[in-house]
Chain A
Amino acid sequence: MSRGWPAEIGRVVLLMVVAVALQTLIVSRVSVLGVTADLFLILTVVTAIGRGSLYGAVFGFAAGVVADIAFLEPLGVRALIYVLMGYMVGSLVHRFTSVNLWGVFLLAACASFVAQVAYGLFQYAIGPRAGFFVILTTQVLPETVLDALVTVPIYVLLIRLRVVPAPHAETAAAGVGQE
């Protein structure tokens, strides 16, 4: 962490509050093809791209706990999934010098797909039974595309607002990137 880490943590906390507000106020009420975007996952991905795997994992954990509380679901499920997604996306980004918008799109799509498969496996383990192709075509693929499409403008916006730094700038400033 750099010398301005209190400010950075403040930005991340602010991002979390905004995520809770937007997810409950707007995003959960707008469904496209029967699915809604997962803003908690999207912001976890954006944080991981901009700030690296450590921030990505911590943000993912906090976002997951908040999501589980908000949706009254078993505590820890989303936290576990988002921690993994935050860390993996952050680790992947550190292997590159920079990430363009296509990269953001692909990272978000992969993270969304993996997160939904993991969540689906958990759901399948505790109860609901569904055909693989039914859930793939009605839930996983539409939300994967929706999450990826929503991630790109949010990423651009947060970079412009300097809430999240561009990944190459972070890498250069922190002198990290060898993982």
Chain B
Amino acid sequence: MPRNNVSWRRLVFVILIIASLALLTITFREADSGPVHTIQRAGAGILAPLQSWGAKVAKPFQDGYQWFKTLWSAHRRAERLEEELQILKGEAIKLEETVEEYKRLQGLLDLRDKGVYPDGTDFAVADVIAKSPSRWSSWVLIDKGTADGLRVGLPVVGATPMTGETLSGKGLVGKITEVTSNTAKVLLIIDSSSSVSAKIQGNRAEGIIEGSVSGDLTMDYVERDVAVDPKLVIVTSGYGPIYPADIPIGIVASVGEEDVNIYKEIEVQAFVDFRVLEEVMVLILPEEEP
């Protein structure tokens, strides 16, 4: 037994370090169905209601914050509209939020109704309840899970307010990488580990859309002799097991070439503004027969 406070402290410290390393080792070595992963998913399931509730509690504060952000530009018009503004201000915030939510949901409906998906595809609309805490990874946590038919590998689409004249705000968001009974983790296409097989509408050039830590999207593996113009729309090509074909991703923002690179360097502007993503729609594709 340790004889004094210092020895006791050091012993506990060493035990905690060993426990941390053991947890880390087990996490990486055991299968997804292993006990540590199971405990983690159960823990996440316990925290999910708190996070979901948190999203609802925080929303008025976020709305208030957004309101303060827009207040500055509104202030310049305030002299003429001051009196009317005071009366309608409170109501307008609520209405504006309702309209925004309506537009987002309408966008999701458009994606559902106008998209061409495999027969038997079902849809689940979910709220975003948490986002990745650092730029190292880009993911969101949504409030639907296995209880709603979700599973790992399903594609996710979303709709956000329009970010530019040519951007619809509707498009591919990412794919589910982890799922618990009531939550799922969606890896965004802007994550540095994400890659999506895609094609450019108009010239049918094919390539891979890749994310990055900075949040920028690039399209790689497009041959240099293929003509690519800015503003062309990029959609999923449908190759691979995850994403069905023809889901809109974004537009060509710029095209570059380097002497040392046999492929073009294409920067892509996503349709979806990932910073303001609040609702998403999971495409529940029919399970393939083994």
Task: Report which A residues bind B (CB closer than 8 A).
Answer: 20-21, 24-26, 28-30, 34-36, 38, 52-54, 57-58, 60-61, 64-66, 68-72, 74-77, 79-80, 83-84, 87, 116, 119-120, 123, 127-130, 134-135, 138-139, 143, 174, 176, 178-179
Q: List 13 additional A-B contacts (Cβ < 8 Å) besides A75-B27, A179-B6.
A: A24-B50, A28-B130, A28-B131, A57-B16, A64-B20, A69-B44, A72-B185, A75-B26, A79-B19, A87-B13, A128-B193, A130-B136, A135-B213
> Shortest Cβ distance from A127 into chain B, in angstroms?
5
In this complex, the interface size class of chain B, counting residues with CB under 8 Å from chain A, is 35 or more
How distant is the Cα of A138 from the Cα of B138 in the complex, in angstroms? Answer: 14
Q: Tell me the total A-B contact number using a CB cutoff of 8 A.
A: 141
Chain A residues with CB under 8 Å of B19's CB are 61, 79
Against A, the Cβ 8 Å flags (1 = close, 0 = not) of B112-134 are 00000000000000000011111
B54 CB contact (under 8 Å) in A25, A35, A65, A130: A25
Chain B residues with CB under 8 Å of A123's CB are 136-137
Chain A residues with CB under 8 Å of B95's CB are none
Task: Report which B residues bind A (CB closer than 8 A).
Answer: 5-6, 8-9, 12-13, 16-17, 19-28, 36, 40-41, 43-44, 47, 50-51, 53-55, 57-58, 61-62, 65, 130-137, 141, 178, 185, 191-193, 212-214
Nearest chain-B residue to A179 (Cβ)? B6
How distant is the Cα of A130 from the Cα of B213 in the complex, in angstroms? Answer: 6
Q: What are 26 A-B contacts with C-beta separation under 8 Å?
A: A25-B50, A34-B135, A53-B9, A53-B13, A54-B12, A57-B12, A57-B16, A61-B20, A64-B20, A65-B23, A69-B47, A71-B133, A72-B178, A74-B24, A75-B24, A76-B25, A79-B19, A79-B20, A83-B16, A87-B13, A128-B137, A129-B213, A130-B212, A134-B213, A135-B135, A138-B214
Q: Taking A26-B58, A79-B19 as contacts, is the C-beta distance between A38 and B27 under 8 angstroms?
A: no
How distant is the Cα of A77 from the Cα of B28 in the complex, in angstroms? Answer: 11
Q: Taking A57-B13, A87-B13, A138-B135 as contacts, is the C-beta distance between A72 and B213 under 8 angstroms?
A: no
Nearest chain-A residue to B6 (Cβ)? A179
> Shortest Cβ distance from A89 into chain B, in angstroms?
12
Chain B residues with CB under 8 Å of A84's CB are 17
Nearest chain-B residue to A88 (Cβ)? B13
Closest 4 CB pairs of A and B: A76-B23, A76-B24, A130-B213, A80-B20
Q: Are B6 and A70 in contact, with the CB atoms below 8 A? A: no
Q: Are B40 and A68 in contact, with the CB atoms below 8 A? A: yes
Nearest chain-A residue to B138 (Cβ)? A128
A20 CB contact (under 8 Å) in B8, B47, B57, B136: B47
Q: Are B21 and A36 in contact, with the CB atoms below 8 A? A: no
Q: Are B213 and A69 in contact, with the CB atoms below 8 A? A: no
Q: Are B6 and A130 in contact, with the CB atoms below 8 A? A: no
Q: Taking A65-B23, A127-B192, A135-B213 as contacts, is the C-beta distance between A24 and B130 under 8 angstroms?
A: yes
Nearest chain-A residue to B23 (Cβ)? A76
How distant is the Cα of A76 from the Cα of B28 in the complex, in angstroms? Answer: 10
Q: Taking A25-B54, A58-B12 as contacts, is the C-beta distance between A77 and B24 under 8 angstroms?
A: yes
How distant is the Cα of A171 from the Cα of B22 in the complex, in angstroms? Answer: 33
